[in-house]
A = this chain, B = another copy of it.
Amino acid sequence: MKFSPLVDELIESLRCLPGVGPKSAQRMAFQLLERNRKAGQKLANALERSMSEVGHCQACRTFTEQELCPICSSPKRGNAGVICVVETPADVLAIEAGGHFMGRYFVLLGHLSPLDGVGPDELGLELLEQHLSSEDVTELILATNPTVEGDATAHFIADIARRHNVVISRIAHGVPVGGELEYVDSTTLALSFNGRIPL
């Protein structure tokens, strides 16, 4: 024990955050205790509620505490017949930041990875196929990461989609190979949408 049980527990708990080592956890704990208890309380509250209440959008699988996320429930998406498949909720944010895509999303929450036990079920591909069978859906854009796993996942989904009456494409130009979609700037992302190649 370095301080008192509760302070030690706070420092230890902060280490569950990605990129936070013992030294930064300590600095975070002290800064909150010294200068920002209100913000600490607010964070406690947001964490408490998020961890128990946030689930997944029933249409696109992104994080939301509601039945449908704001994008899926918005009547303002001009191109609701186009579904863009991404790996993570962060990818949705990255594409939305560009503001050029007016369709909807489908979030895989991962990519195919048989060794880790991640197969079609884990990626919600049955739900995606339900969307594809709907008459409203006319186009599928595969925006998984340009990595080996992301490419394999895109091809796997393209094979499924071919059974349905939709135009299929993969985003292409602009996204650097081996990179993570989440970190690409919005202009590059826009290019990769415009230059998508039919599969």
Contact = CB atoms under 8 A, between A and B. Distances in A.
Contacts of A29: 50
Contact of A18 (B7, B27, B96): B27
Given A44-B47, A44-B51, A70 B4 contact: yes
Interface stretch (A85-93, A116-124, A145-153): A85-93
Interface string A1-12: 111111101101
A144 interface: no
Interface string A104-136: 000001000000000000000000000000000
Nearest to A4: B64
A110 B49 CA distance: 35
A130 B45 CA distance: 40
Contacts of A39: 13, 16
B37 A43 contact: no
A54 interface: yes
B93 A26 contact: yes
B42 A44 contact: no
A41 B6 CA distance: 15
A101 to B, nearest CB: 14
A156 interface: no
A12 B47 CA distance: 11
Contact of A49 (B2, B6, B93): B6
24 contacts: A2-B93, A2-B96, A3-B62, A3-B63, A4-B65, A5-B65, A6-B46, A6-B49, A6-B65, A7-B63, A10-B50, A14-B43, A16-B36, A16-B40, A17-B28, A17-B32, A19-B24, A26-B90, A29-B50, A37-B51, A40-B47, A41-B48, A45-B48, A47-B47
